Structure 1
């Protein structure tokens, strides 16, 4: 993977534990986790401000790799930032449907889901048996964000409990996304 992009990991509610693929990617590939002040009672505005802060720390654009609530963070940030060019693309895994009645009160501040089209290329990966978002809701979110999508079949919440280990297929998806960012249009710019 070219080093022109920083890869930032955006965990969801309660952070990603040691068995989560995000934690494994951080250890194995040196990607940076965006730490939040409060993982238990997350506030959308606070998380957005922290993401903005990290994105503005370095001049090169980032590729965001988000899981669960981290996906909703990407959408909310993108709809409000004045610096969308800081993100080249995003891999969004298992977005939750926080508008469901059975969501815990910790996540009420994330309602309504930001549904503005994303201003950068994004691939949303979802599971058909995700306990936090049914397939129809996932497809609606993908459509609203005007993102590409891919179903993993039945993979739960695509987290540590899903038994993905290092999730090499996910790394392949990330590499594919980065390759599209480095496509012909970008090569023409480099040649100038």
Structure 2
């Protein structure tokens, strides 16, 4: 896949450190125009630092941008977008967002810790750019009905991917071929709204 002329794809990771087998990492290795937001890992769950890192990554690029966020990276993206205009962002692919309504696995911060760091409540206003929420039918971190309600609040197109778990290596996803067609849909002025 190639994106539009000069378009930069910015990947926004969740609450993980670098994972070589993650589809975002593989996407960055496969395409020359991908700029990852540096992962801060579980040890540093600061929302403010993640939002600042996304802003810095966008500012360090020229031309149009498509954001490709996964998991808590989706929540980082919607917090970043709150109160902003689209600017150079053509669109965002928001893959398997957690709904943050139930406890996360033991190795992750508690919901009360995340709330104290500003993650909750999740912004529910329309995003200033086109977006697609790619949702799983069996994600332990995101109830499909709650994820659909987030997509509706954000003005996102909702795409049901089927039973793909959390769309991560633990769910069998190193490569995710479905990402590239969705990115391509967002990489033009008439992207879904």
Pick the TM interval, shorter chain. 0.7 to 0.9
Q: Deviations over 1:16-61 (max 9, x none)?
A: 5111111111111131111144543321111111111121223312
Tell me the residue number matched to 2:145.
136
Shift of 1:128: 0.9
- Unaligned stretches of 5+ residues in structure 1: 185-192
In the alignment, which residue of structure 1 is the partner of 2:72?
Answer: 69
Aligned match of 1:25: 27
Unmatched tracts of structure 2, length 5 or more:
none
Give secondary structure in 2 for the equivalent of 1:84: coil
Structure 2 residue 57 is the aligned partner of structure 1 residue 50: no
1:34 to 33, 37, 53: 37
Structure 1 residues 80, 47: closer, same or farther in 2, change over 3 A?
farther
Partner of 2:6: 4
- Could you say which structure has the larger radius of gyration? 1
Residues 94, 125 of structure 1: 8 Å contact kept: yes
Q: 1:59 aligns with which of 54, 58, 62?
A: 62
Which deviates the most, 152-161 or 28-37?
28-37
Q: Does 1:156 align with 2:165?
A: yes
Aligned to 1:102: 103
Kept in 2, the 8 Å contact 1:56–1:86? The answer is: no
Relative distance call for 1:38 and 1:165 in structure 2 (3 A) is closer
Q: Distance in 1 between matches of 2:7 and 2:48?
A: 25
Which region of structure 1 is more displaced relative to structure 2, 107-116 or 88-97?
Answer: 107-116
Name the structure 2 match of 1:115.
124
Q: What SS does structure 1 have at the residue aligned with 2:178?
A: helix
Q: Distance in 1 between matches of 2:64 and 2:42?
A: 25
Give SS of 2:97's match. coil
**1:182 Cα offset (Å):** 4.0
Pick the aligned partner of 2:156 from 147, 154, 157. 147
**Greater displacement, 131-140 / 56-65:** 56-65
Give the TM-score taking structure 1 as reference length: 0.85
Report if aligned partners of 2:91, 2:130 keep a CA contact under 8 Å in 1: yes
Superposition TM-score, scaled by structure 2 size: 0.85
Q: CA RMSD in A?
A: 1.9
Deviates further, 13-22 or 59-68: 13-22
